[in-house]
Amino acid sequence: MALILRICKRSTKTLTCQRSRQVRLLSNDVVTQFQNLLGESNVSIAETTRQHHGQDESPFPGAMPDVVVSPKNTEQVSSVAKICYERKLPMIPYGTGTGLEGGVCAVKGGVCLDLSQMEESIDVNMSDLDATVTASITRIALNNYLHDTGLWFPIDPGADASLCGMVATSASGTTAVRYGTMRENVINLEVVLADGSILHTAGKGLHPRKTAAGYNLTNLFVGSEGTLGIITKATLRLYSIPEKMSATCSFPSTEDAINSVEQILLYNVPIVRIEFLDESAVDACNKYSHLDHPVQPMIFLEFYGSKAEIESQVDIVEEVISSQNGTELKWAKTTEEHSKLWKARHNALYAAKALRPGSKAKITDVAVPISKLAEILTKTKEEIKKEDLLCCIVGHVGDGNFHCLVMHDPSNQQELEKIEAFSSKLAIFAQDLGGTCTGEHGIGLGKMKLLEREVGNTGMSVMKSIKKALDPHNLLNPGHTVEIKLSEIVLSQS
């Protein structure tokens, strides 16, 4: 037991001095081994490269890996994993670094596998409405490729993330209310496991629309945040590109806006996007994206379908919003206006940060059952006022999911503590209302305790058993999501 305690203490120290850590975990011969395998230009120990790969778009301070390798195909990923497994080196998969929960921060050093340099391949089955992509393909690249086919992949987190990274974080975004999240849209995955073996979660080369064959291994990897395997290929559902129209509507209060959303959903209107912005978010977007909306709570809506279908949806929506004191729908009349509207929504993060130049944004991500949305938003607004926070709220309210963007000075400890407390309180509100601490951004570095609170001891112990079964040496993205401690590894091996 004494030995175990000593090991744990040392590992904590390594963690806290990550940023200034000079001594690398790697010996030169490992670097040479990677160079022989991948070619010199695909292995980097340059500080700027390591820094870039140890940081995502979250406010977490980055943590550099010891080396960044750029495998070109699945076999090379597998060979890298075999080396890491043999030498017990941490492996951190890197997609495009747009994550918002510190997922790529190499908190225990190790080998970053930059998958953006993998050979690009998109294999489309038009008649089956699916496509298989390699890990370097981003969602915009896929949609550009598909453009002339009349098909698209609709899951839209705003950022041009890699599709396999979106699988890894279980991403969603503005269109989930109609198309679901990554969870509902992945058919099969190719995954390199910790020891380098290659798994096809739904069987090699298979792409059925449904399956009841054994455990759902595909979904096990959705939201696994690099901690269970390295996703090298994903087979995804495609849809036909519909006709679309967008509009906006302002409300005197948040409650009126949210009541409208609830009713629109209850009337079963097949809305494709229904996004909420509070008055601070409207103000920020007006300034940043040169819009002129009244500074009041708003919803942005998008309708898909034929002219007649859209008309019948709009009839219901107009009736609902007028009963909730909403303004008349203001339509985006041209393609440019349509793009400008959604671009402004997707740039909400940058708009919010511009309210306080030089600030960072703490981003919350709770989701609650729709019936509790008005209640949690009211409580959240009260907290924001009480704590005097500079905060914008945006939300995929059709899914009961919203984000507070709280601007702060990361060097101001007092401010940081206040914001962390606000963020935890909000997550606990959500859980107590039957919701979750993360609708789409993941657990990453900051929400492990909240995950425990959410799934309970038994849930946690099942998650840890899965982690131990697939990654017995805790090499895959250690320090994130579901952590098995050194003591548990030592005990389980003795």
Ligand X SMILES: Cc1cc2c(cc1C)N(C[C@H](O)[C@H](O)[C@H](O)COP(=O)(O)OP(=O)(O)OC[C@H]1O[C@@H](n3cnc4c(N)ncnc43)[C@H](O)[C@@H]1O)c1[nH]c(=O)[nH]c(=O)c1N2
Ligand Y SMILES: CC(C)CC(=O)C(=O)O
Q: Which region, judged by CB under 6 A, interacts with ligand X, from 162-170, 207-215, 334-342, 455-463?
A: 162-170
Rounded distance between C-alpha atoms, residue 257 and residue 299, angstroms: 7
354 interacts with ligand Y by CB under 6 A? no
- Single out the residue of 249, 241, 385, 402 nearest to residue 318, CA to CA: 249
Nearer to ligand X among residue 23 and residue 469 (C-beta) = 469
Taking CB under 6 A as the criterion, the residue among 64, 166, 320, 363 binding ligand Y is: 363
- Position 336, amino acid: E
Taking CB under 6 A as the criterion, the residue among 349, 351, 419, 445 binding ligand Y is: 349
Closest contact distance (angstroms) between CB of 275 and ligand Y is 8
CB environment 123-150: b (16+ within 10 A), e (fewer): ebeeeeebbbbbbbbbbebbbebbeeee
Taking CB under 6 A as the criterion, the residue among 18, 74, 76, 98 binding ligand X is: 98
Q: Which does 405 bind (CB under 5 to 8 A by kind): ligand X, ligand Y, none?
A: ligand Y
Closest contact distance (angstroms) between CB of 321 and ligand Y is 22
**In 251-374, beta strands by DSSP E:** 273-277, 298-304, 330-331, 360-363
Show the tokens assigned to 171.
Answer: 């991403």
Q: Count of CB atoms within 10 A of residue 85's CB? A: 20
Contacts of residue 385, Cβ cutoff 8 Å, sequence gap at least 6:
none
Rounded (10°) angle between helices 486-493 and 448-470 = 30
- Single out the residue of 121, 111, 113 nearest to residue 30, CA to CA: 111
Q: Which region, judged by CB under 6 A, interacts with ligand X, from 75-83, 226-234, 276-284, 307-315?
A: 226-234
25 interacts with ligand Y by CB under 6 A? no
Closest contact distance (angstroms) between CB of 340 and ligand Y is 16
Cβ proximity of 400 and 375 under 8 Å = no
Footprint of ligand X on 36-75 (CB under 6 A): 56-57
Taking CB under 6 A as the criterion, the residue among 109, 110, 157, 479 binding ligand X is: 157
3 state DSSP class of 305? coil
Taking CB under 6 A as the criterion, the residue among 348, 355, 384, 484 binding ligand Y is: 348
Q: Which does 231 bind (CB under 5 to 8 A by kind): ligand Y, ligand X, none?
A: ligand X
Residue nearest to ligand Y (CB): 349
Footprint of ligand X on 170-209 (CB under 6 A): 171-173
Contacts of residue 34, Cβ cutoff 8 Å, sequence gap at least 6:
43, 67, 69, 80, 83, 111
Footprint of ligand Y on 124-163 (CB under 6 A): 158
Taking CB under 6 A as the criterion, the residue among 394, 397, 437, 450 binding ligand Y is: 394
Contacts of residue 128, Cβ cutoff 8 Å, sequence gap at least 6:
207, 209
Q: Which does 164 bind (CB under 5 to 8 A by kind): ligand X, ligand Y, none?
A: ligand X
Give one DSSP letter per residue of 445-492, joined into a string. TT-HHHHHHHHHHHHHHHHHHHHHHH-TT--BSTTSSS---HHHHHHH
158 interacts with ligand X by CB under 6 A? yes
Footprint of ligand Y on 92-121 (CB under 6 A): 100
- The residues that touch ligand X, with contacts defined as CB under 6 A, are 56-57, 92-100, 103-104, 115, 135, 157-159, 161-162, 164-166, 168-169, 171-173, 225-226, 230-231, 349, 440-441, 477, 480
- The residues that touch ligand Y, with contacts defined as CB under 6 A, are 100, 158, 173, 348-349, 363, 394, 403, 405
